[in-house]
Amino acid sequence: MIHPQAQALLDLIAQRNLPPMQALSPVEARAYYRDRRTLTQPAAPPVAEVREMQCDGPAGAIPLRLYKPLPRAGATLADAAALPVLVYFHGGGWTIGDLDTHDVLCRQLANAAHCAVVSVDYRMGPEHRFPAAALDCHTATRWVQRFAEPLGLDPARIAVGGDSAGGNLAAVVAILARDGGDLPLAFQLLIYPATDMRAVHPSHTTNGKGYLLERETIAYYHDHYIDDRMHDEDWRASPLLHPDLSGLPPSLLLTAGFDPLRDEGLDYADALAAAGNRNTYVCFEREIHGFITMGKVIDEANAAVALCAAELARALAR
């Protein structure tokens, strides 16, 4: 069954007659998403440092936000080595979301995994169409590697990660990094990623109505990012369709049982494992899409964050 806390959230949304994302313009949807996050997200935990940065991108500056974790209890100067780093890409259907909507999650992961996090504010549709987001995310990851040492980061311990559209972008960046041969990545954190833009998996039907992210919402996001259906077959949009998924970094892939993206996430995990990669797959069977940022109202979100952080810490250990 669906988790009672997730169902209570869905009931509250229905009672308040809140508009679905597809009923709003992209500008309205972005403001709506940013403003409503405080209803479901925990308070932002303190971290040791937050720094606003930017890097040069294919079409101008890409805003970045660096988080450094609080020191471990009993840490000494001898422990002050370069930090491993997670380059994080926010979710939001390549259309909404920003550095602020995922600020709490980035802080949580930094502290719990004791790693730095660099959050990337990549270009989004409809102003910037496919493959703009993927190009920005790859560029930002390469920049983090290049300037890791001046930032107090370890260029040999870099992970990529993201949720939903951000999980899609992390998977794409991992493939681009492998193919480029000069950007070694240590880990992929893929949280209910979109991996097949064709939306043909059964869960798009079974979970396509009544669970927050609906088929119509997915089409809304898709059409703002993808301007030609032929791009659905491009692996930079649909990493599941890449003909060779071997030689990729270890990964943790999370899905939610009542998520339209559940089945394509499972298929991607299976494809990664079949190609010889180390991969752990966990499905939170009672949860809905987007739940990991909802720790204020859904307890399993906090368990999911703890799991992600533990796997990150293990993968990024010296």
User: What are 118-140's pLDDT values in tens digits?
Assistant: 999 999 999 999 999 999 999 99
**What pLDDT was estimated at residue 164?**
98
Q: Which residue has the higher pLDDT, 310 or 77?
A: 310
User: What's the per-residue H, E or C state across the chain?
Assistant: CCCHHHHHHHHHHHHCCCCCHHHCCHHHHHHHHHHHHHHCCCCCCCCCEEEEEEEEECCEEEEEEEEECCCCCCCCHHHCCCEEEEEEECCCCCCCCCCCCCHHHHHHHHHHHCCEEEEECCCCCCCCCCCHHHHHHHHHHHHHHHCCHHHCEEEEEEEEEEECHHHHHHHHHHHHHHHHCCCCCCEEEEECCCCCCCCCCCHHHHCCCCCCCCHHHHHHHHHHHCCCHHHHHCCCCCHHHCCCCCCCCCEEEEEECCCCCHHHHHHHHHHHHHCCCCEEEEEECCCCCCHHHCCCCCHHHHHHHHHHHHHHHHHHCC
Do 160 and 87 touch, CB atoms closer than 8 A?
yes
The verdict on whether 251 is a catalytic residue reads: no
Measure the CA–CA gap between 190 and 159, rounded to whole angstroms.
Answer: 11
User: What are 228-278's pLDDT values in tens digits?
Assistant: 999 999 999 999 999 999 999 999 999 999 999 999 999 999 999 999 999
CA 164 to chain centre: 6
**What pLDDT was estimated at residue 73?**
80
One-letter amino acid for residue 295 of the chain: G
One-letter amino acid for residue 93 of the chain: G
The verdict on whether 121 is a catalytic residue reads: no
158 closest CA partner among 104, 120, 116, 192? 116
Do 261 and 289 touch, CB atoms closer than 8 A?
yes
* Domains, in order of start, for the chain: 4-73+81-316 (3.40.50.1820)
**CB environment 159-168: b (16+ within 10 A), e (fewer):** bbbbbbbbbb
pLDDT score of 77 more than 50: no
Q: What is the CA radius of gyration of the chain?
A: 18
**pLDDT tier, 318 (very low <50, low <70, confident <90, very high otherwise):** confident
From the candidates 119, 164, 203, 251, which is the catalytic residue? 164
pTM above 0.95, yes or no: yes
pLDDT score of 306 more than 60: yes
Percentage of the chain modeled with pLDDT above 90: 97
The verdict on whether 238 is a catalytic residue reads: no
From the candidates 90, 102, 114, 289, which is the catalytic residue? 289
Orientation of helix 132-146 relative to helix 165-180, angle to 10°: 60
How many Cβ atoms sit within 10 Å of the Cβ of residue 1? 9
pLDDT score of 78 more than 60: no
- Largest distance between two CA atoms of the chain: 55
Measure the CA–CA gap between 195 and 234, rounded to whole angstroms.
Answer: 11
CA dihedral 232, 238, 241, 246 (to 10 degrees): 160
The length of the chain in residues reads 318
Measure the CA–CA gap between 199 and 264, rounded to whole angstroms.
Answer: 8
